[in-house]
Structure 1
Amino acid sequence: MSRIIKKLILLSCLFPILLAAATTVDDPIPEKIDNLEKPLYSPFVERYVLDEIKQLRIDQAKSKQELLQQILDREHNSVDRAVAYATDTVTYFFYLIAAATSVLVLVGWTSIRDIKERVHSLADEEISKLIHEYEARLEMIEEQLQQKTQHIDENREEIELTQELQSLWLQAQQDDSPSNKITIYDEILKIRRDDCEAITYKANAVLELNEPQWAANLCHQALKIDPENSRAFYQLACAYTAMRQFDEALHFLIEALNRRESYLESIHDDPALQALVNHEVFSELPRLMGKETS
């Protein structure tokens, strides 16, 4: 019932957006995107999606645990049946030996006491073998169950960690203050130190605070982790442009374009690169791009 209510609430939140889209079908989509004043989503909708994903993973983990429990129960039943079968076999074997012993006593082969001791020793040996064998199997099953339980715990921790990271990224996207963004990116890096995306976004926020050298250091740190990170090269171009080192800026811009050509569309519109675009060294870009390509 609660899940139905959540879906109804989600539909009620999306209805105005769908209605607005339906009433303006003839409008050009690019103009609508440019005139947006607020996001088409809400934290409530994203929170609902995150909760649904978390619940789905929890249900999956529960299903795995129930399946493991069923397998363990079946193994225990198999062990019980095997032990019962072994006990019956030993009993029948004992009866057979007793009958044979009676016959041998009648013909004078040996005494009843010797035969009884031999039968008990044989029975004890067989039972001991069976017990050791099934104890080893039970230990192996217990070890496998512990490994599965540990794996489930690790998955649960990873889900919680992912949810926390998504929440931090959402806060960073909604916050307009570069200082607050840097604080949020630092929290993300405390959780995942090798997150290149967080490092490059932090460098972008640092550039907004007019700290190009700091931003360049962050980008070089990201390239040590991922040498092919195109965003790090692009941010380096912006940082060196801010430091008026246009040759270095052009070099890193070419490295970024070689890895992602889509940056070429935003070069002239990016305020951080306007000084480079207006500088005479920028005219060398086509020639240098052709040289790098060849």
Structure 2
Amino acid sequence: MFLSFCFLIISFAVSAQVTDQPAHDGEPTEDVRTRLTPFMERYMLDELKALRMEMAGFQVSVKEEVVQKELAVADKAMSYANITVTYFFYLLAGAASVLAIVGWQSLRELKKNAREYAETQMRQITDTYERKLKQIERELQRKTKVIAENYREIERFQEIHALWLRASQEQSPQAKMDIYDQILRIKPGDLDALTHKADAALMMNERQWALSLCNRVMQVDPQNAHALYQRACAHAGVGHEEQALADLELAIQRNVHLRNVAAEDEEFEPLRQHPRFVELTHDGHEPGQGDGGPDGRKSS
């Protein structure tokens, strides 16, 4: 192919020389230009095509060779990395084996001690919080109980207060007695209710009953002036003059206001002329000053 190309070039050179020669006499003076025949053009195109195909094949072969070189380099790099990692794992396995042989027992003891210490600390913390929670729970229960008791006490106080208001508005001794009984059912042993009940018994001429009620109060509170006064009234009504005067004296000592009340109380009518009664009720008494007994009984 190369020889053909050279032959073609030589042909072009010869044709050029022929055209450069001067024209003979009698021939046209214009230059005769050589023109390529179709065969020559076809031949030249085929040669150029073959040359281009040869260059393309050469380029492909060069690329393939470069790729093969790169693959070889990458393969060697992977091989080196694999060998390095393998040696590293061998080294790590050897170190682990040595550690397992030398310090396995120590590691077990360390792990055991750490677990025991953690369990001990957790147990202590848990016990502490359990004690605190139980203490808080007991305190809450106590406060809840106190609140409930206070609430019940308030309700009971309101109910008792309403009953006292009803008793103050009642005119019948029997109705008063019933109300005082309700108060005693709500609050057993209430001294005020017992003394007022004794007063209602006196109003009903139940003096023995009044004495019994006053004695119950005196067993709890021997210094109760109201109970002493009511018992003095009851003793006077049943004819126990000395006992009536003794209780009246004690009552006046504890509450001087009772002196004026006794001076006009109709329950002491049997003692009105008794010198000791006059002496007890005379000091500081002005006629008309008393307006009734401590329980609301009108004096005569």
Structure 2: distance between partners of 1:262 and 1:155: 36
Q: Is 1:237–1:250's contact at 8 Å kept on the other side of the alignment?
A: yes
Structure 1: distance between partners of 2:231 and 2:117: 82
Structure 1: distance between partners of 2:251 and 2:112: 87
Q: 2:277 aligns with which of 276, 282, 285?
A: 282
Q: 2:259 aligns with which of 241, 261, 264?
A: 264
Structure 1: distance between partners of 2:242 and 2:118: 90
Q: 2:212 aligns with which of 200, 208, 217?
A: 217
Q: Is 1:178–1:206's contact at 8 Å kept on the other side of the alignment?
A: yes
Aligned CA distance change for structure 1 residues 108 and 217 (closer, same or farther; 3 Å): same
Correspondence for 2:199: 204
Structure 1: distance between partners of 2:206 and 2:100: 108
Structure 1: distance between partners of 2:254 and 2:110: 87
> Kindly, what percent of the aligned residue pairs are identical?
37
Correspondence for 1:7: none
Residue identity matched to 1:201: H
Unaligned runs of 5+ in 1: 1-101, 288-294
Correspondence for 2:142: 147
Correspondence for 1:240: 235
Correspondence for 1:9: none
- The DSSP-based 3-state class of the residue aligned with 2:239 is coil
Structure 2: distance between partners of 1:286 and 1:168: 34
Structure 2: distance between partners of 1:124 and 1:245: 84
Per-residue deviation, 1:284? 5.1
Q: Deviations over 1:81-131 (max 9, x none)?
A: xxxxxxxxxxxxxxxxxxxxx9x9599444545543443333233222222
Q: Deviations over 1:20-72 (max 9, x none)?
A: xxxxxxxxxxxxxxxxxxxxxxxxxxxxxxxxxxxxxxxxxxxxxxxxxxxxx
Q: 2:157 aligns with which of 141, 158, 162?
A: 162
Q: How many residues align?
A: 186
| TM-score, structure 2 normalization | 0.56
Aligned CA distance change for structure 1 residues 141 and 255 (closer, same or farther; 3 Å): same
Residue identity matched to 2:227: A
Correspondence for 1:134: 129
Residue identity matched to 2:232: A
Structure 1: distance between partners of 2:219 and 2:108: 83
Structure 2: distance between partners of 1:215 and 1:228: 18
Correspondence for 2:189: 194
Correspondence for 1:251: 246
Q: 1:185 aligns with which of 157, 180, 183?
A: 180
Higher RCO by CA contacts (8 Å cutoff, separation 6 or greater): 1
Structure 2: distance between partners of 1:212 and 1:184: 19
Structure 1: distance between partners of 2:276 and 2:121: 90
Q: Is 1:247–1:281's contact at 8 Å kept on the other side of the alignment?
A: no
Correspondence for 2:221: 226
Unaligned runs of 5+ in 2: 1-95, 283-300
Aligned CA distance change for structure 1 residues 108 and 224 (closer, same or farther; 3 Å): same
Aligned CA distance change for structure 1 residues 179 and 142 (closer, same or farther; 3 Å): same
Q: Is 2:194–2:217's contact at 8 Å kept on the other side of the alignment?
A: yes
Residue identity matched to 2:234: A
Per-residue deviation, 1:269? 2.1
Q: Is 2:263–2:281's contact at 8 Å kept on the other side of the alignment?
A: no
Q: Is 2:259–2:280's contact at 8 Å kept on the other side of the alignment?
A: no
Aligned CA distance change for structure 1 residues 196 and 115 (closer, same or farther; 3 Å): closer
Correspondence for 2:114: 119
Correspondence for 1:15: none
| TM-score, structure 1 normalization | 0.57
Greater radius of gyration (CA)? 2
Q: Is 1:228–1:259's contact at 8 Å kept on the other side of the alignment?
A: yes
